[in-house]
Amino acid sequence: MSEYRTNILIGSAVVLMSKTIAVWGSPRSGKTTFSVKLANAIYNRYKTNVVVLFTDITTPTMPVLFPSAKRDTLFSVGKVLTKTDITVDETIKNLVLIKKKANFGVLGYLCGENKFTYPRFDDVKARELFDVLKTLANFVIIDCMSNLDDSVLSTVAVGEADEVIRLASPDLSCLSWYLSQLPLVAGAERHIQGINVPDADICAPVSDVRSHLGEVSFTLPFSREVKQQFYEGKLFDVVSDKKYNTVIGAIADKVVV
Ligand SMILES: Nc1ncnc2c1ncn2[C@@H]1O[C@H](COP(=O)(O)OP(=O)(O)O)[C@@H](O)[C@H]1O
Ligand SMILES: [Mg+2]
């Protein structure tokens, strides 16, 4: 932990600007998987420090990412948000560090937690957390909930992040969700729209999705290896799938510059 703290603070002192990237989209479009893989790509390609914040309070993400971790090695972002003032020290204490990756930290909710576990907080507090995370890492990736009503963190991130990457899966329920929900979101025209294929058996033509969603910046293919990693709790490992890596690498390059 202390090694991480030192490195990360040195890192933030060297680089002047840090960037927040919100990942949002339809339910099960692959937002969480994408957030981890984008963080991996930025970390590996740019040798920089990253933090990923998982905002899901309905299906807490920590037990999904770290299924075999001992409870006392995981911490909750909920605890950080209960503080009157969010300090760098308190945030660092609750960062979960990724093994063998110096300067790569994640924050999220723990198994069993729900919206009643911690006191409610407002958008000011959410901004306070983002500001602290920006002092810790050059890239802060925020895995947002599809339903913004469920999450202040997601609402603020989608509204105010430097970049918003919006994921859609090529299926009819995703299209229906977008046609219903997108009109409710301000600033949607600045989002980077991408298609992600989270299942091998998805069969709606990508062209149909394109025609409804407008300009699509990338199509991230289905990868059996990524799926396997997800189910084994190994999403932070590297992927050897070339097609997948080429696309995620290009997205990393686009958001980093
Ligand atoms: N490009 C992909 N290739 C293979 N599986 C994927 C891909 N994107 C997502 N998945 C899988 O789809 C499922 C849903 O992904 P998840 O990231 O949990 O979605 P969300 O966070 O939007 O609910 C998971 O099993 C995940 O590993
Ligand atoms: Mg998710």
How do the domains of the chain map onto residue ranges? 2-256
| Ligand that lies nearest to the alpha carbon of residue 31, given by its number in the listed order | 1
CA of 27 relative to ligand 1 center, distance in Å: 10
Interior/surface letters 134-171, b for 16+ CB within 10 angstroms, e for the rest: bebbbbbbbbbbbebebbbbbbbbbeebebbbbbbbbb
**Superfamily classification of domain 2-256:** P-loop containing nucleotide triphosphate hydrolases (3.40.50.300)
Which atom of ligand 1 lies closest to the CA of 64?
18
Confidence (pLDDT) at 17 = 77
Q: Which residue has the tokens 């040195």?
A: 10
Cα distance between residue 91 and residue 71, in whole Å: 18
Q: How far is CA 108 from CA 58, 63, 88, 144, 182, in A?
A: 11, 10, 16, 11, 26
- pTM of the predicted model, to two decimals? 0.94
Q: Which atom of ligand 1 is nearest to the CA of 229?
A: 27
Are the CB atoms for 109 and 61 separated by under 8 Å? yes
**Ligand 1 atom showing the smallest separation from residue 33 Cα:** 17
Signed CA dihedral, 22, 45, 63, 6: sign only: negative
Q: Contact, 226 vs 241, CB < 8 A?
A: yes
Mean pLDDT by 10 residues, the chain (257 residues): 38 63 97 98 96 98 95 93 94 93 96 97 97 97 97 98 96 92 94 94 73 88 97 96 98 95
Q: Whose CA is nearest to atom 19 of ligand 1?
A: 30
CA of 165 to the centre of ligand 2 (A): 14
> Which residues have their alpha-adjacent CB atom under 5 A from ion ligand 2?
31-32
CB 220 within 8 A of CB 193: no
Ligand at minimal distance from the CA of 59 is 2
CA of 25 to the centre of ligand 2 (A): 10
